[in-house]
């Protein structure tokens, strides 16, 4: 893997923008997939429908608490881990939602340990 020093720091404005776009897209796709309406979600969020829609579409900012509340309403994880990764030889940030995403080297190590312990 290419060293993560080629990536902007995890707390840089560029990385923050990437994360915001990712979270926004995830929420937007989940709302579409579940066939939910902003009209029904907005009262549960305690904000006007137009603010919720614009926030999810990235036209307006929502607070961290509002994103967390929306994540809970949609049954999405609201905690994630930001890891350096690589795609097509280019360094990138990966957003992982524990425990959904695990590192393959950790899985392989665990599998080898199990094989040694059990013999298969």
Interatomic CA distance for residues 110 and 17, integer angstroms? 35
All structural domains of the chain with their residue ranges: 4-118
For residue 48, CA distances in Å to 9, 62, 111 come to 35, 12, 50
Interatomic CA distance for residues 119 and 55, integer angstroms? 53
For residue 38, CA distances in Å to 29, 84, 101, 114 come to 13, 34, 29, 48
Q: What is the pTM of this model?
A: 0.64
Mean pLDDT, rounded, of the chain = 81
Q: What is the pLDDT of residue 53?
A: 95
Interatomic CA distance for residues 120 and 114, integer angstroms? 8
pLDDT at 99 over 60: no
SS3 62: coil
105-117 pLDDT tens trace: 666 676 677 677 7
Choose from 16-25, 91-100, 101-110 the range with maximum mean pLDDT.
16-25
Q: Looking at the domain covering 4-118, what would its CATH class be?
A: mainly alpha
45-79 pLDDT tens trace: 999 999 999 999 988 888 889 988 998 999 887 77
Mean pLDDT over 11-15 rounds to 83
Mean pLDDT over 31-40 rounds to 93
């Amino acid at each position: 893997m290419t060293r993560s020093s080629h990536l902007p720091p995890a707390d840089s404005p560029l990385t923050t923008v990437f994360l915001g776009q990712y979270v926004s897209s995830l929420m937007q796709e989940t709302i579409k997939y579940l066939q939910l309406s902003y009209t029904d979600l907005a009262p549960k969020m305690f904000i006007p429908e137009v603010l919720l829609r614009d926030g999810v579409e990235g036209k307006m900012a929502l607070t961290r608490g509002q994103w967390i509340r929306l994540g809970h309403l949609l049954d999405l994880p609201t905690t994630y881990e930001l890891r350096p990764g690589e795609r097509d030889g280019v360094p990138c940030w990966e957003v992982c939602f524990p425990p959904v995403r695990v590192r393959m080297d950790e899985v392989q190590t665990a599998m080898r340990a199990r094989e040694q312990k059990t013999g298969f």
